[in-house]
Amino acid sequence: MRGLILKDLYALRSFWKQFVFIYLFIACAFLTSAMESGSVSFVLTSMMIYSVVFGSTVLLSSMSIDEAVSFNRYALTTPLGIKKIVKAKFVLLLLSIAVGVFVSLLICGALSLLPAFKGEMIEWSEIIAAMALFLIGDSFMIAVMFKKGVEKARYIYIIIMFALAVFVFGCAKICEMKGISFRILDQLPDVFLSFFAAAVAALSMLMSYFVTLRIVRNKEW
């Protein structure tokens, strides 16, 4: 599996400059916003969310290259096996997100040392919940990507994220109409909310892994 991940990283060499440029551009935009609003929490939340989107972009680019050369069709004739092929893509996604999160923490950590931002509280539970929502979208996207292909997966990913946003907004409006208060969430420990959001995201990724394995096994390559 290590070889598969290295293969993806080498294959994406021509894209890394684009990825870095876009990431730095987004970071500069968020930093400008922070200077105007005086909020590190907003920048960190935005960059953490973009880290998940960055991971999705890396994964889609990798799969696009594989499709162009029919790599999976060839790989399935080798001793690699289906599990390693699928697992490598999940690891690539999580690895890319981890890199984005690390860079985000470095930038926001340096920003928080400035006198204008000292003492600000970071809402970690909100950040983790937002990242979890995007990871749930990614878990759907990976299964679709192996089933329908990369190009269709790009559009379906947008639809999925829009549907999740509508679902969250809809639930909030229904609760408001029914007079259900969200103040109870403020009474719960942030650690509990963070753990719950992370657990849901992890469960969705695990379910996506097994669904994707089944799709790859049944697919005619």
Question: For every one of its 221 residues, what pLDDT tens digit does the chain have, with 9 covering 90 and above?
Answer: 778 888 888 888 877 777 778 777 877 777 777 666 666 677 777 788 888 888 888 888 888 888 888 887 787 777 778 888 889 999 999 988 898 888 888 877 777 776 666 656 667 777 888 888 888 888 888 888 888 888 888 888 888 878 877 877 777 677 667 666 555 555 666 677 778 888 999 999 999 999 999 988 887 76
Domain boundaries, the chain: 2-218
Rounded to 10 deg, the angle between the 40-68 and 82-112 helix axes is 150
Look at residues 76, 85, 74 and name the one whose alpha carbon lies nearest to residue 8.
85
User: What's this model's pTM, rounded to 2 decimal places?
Assistant: 0.81
Q: What is the pLDDT at residue 150?
A: 85
What pLDDT was estimated at residue 13? 80
Question: What integer pLDDT is reported at residue 68 of this predicted model?
Answer: 83
Counting runs of H as helices and runs of E as strands, what totals does the chain give?
Answer: 9, 0
pLDDT for res 205: 92
The pLDDT assigned to 158 comes to: 84
Three-point CA angle 149, 89, 198, nearest 5° = 110
Question: What is the C-alpha separation between 24 and 131, in angstroms, rounded?
Answer: 20
Q: Specify the pLDDT at position 185.
A: 56
How far, rounded to the nearest angstrom, does the alpha carbon of residue 178 sit from its chain's CA centroid?
33
Identify the pLDDT of residue 208: 92
What does the pLDDT read at residue 124?
75
**CA dist., res. 100 & res. 89, Å (int):** 17
First-to-last alpha carbon distance for the chain, in angstroms, is 20
- Predicted local confidence at residue 37, as pLDDT: 64
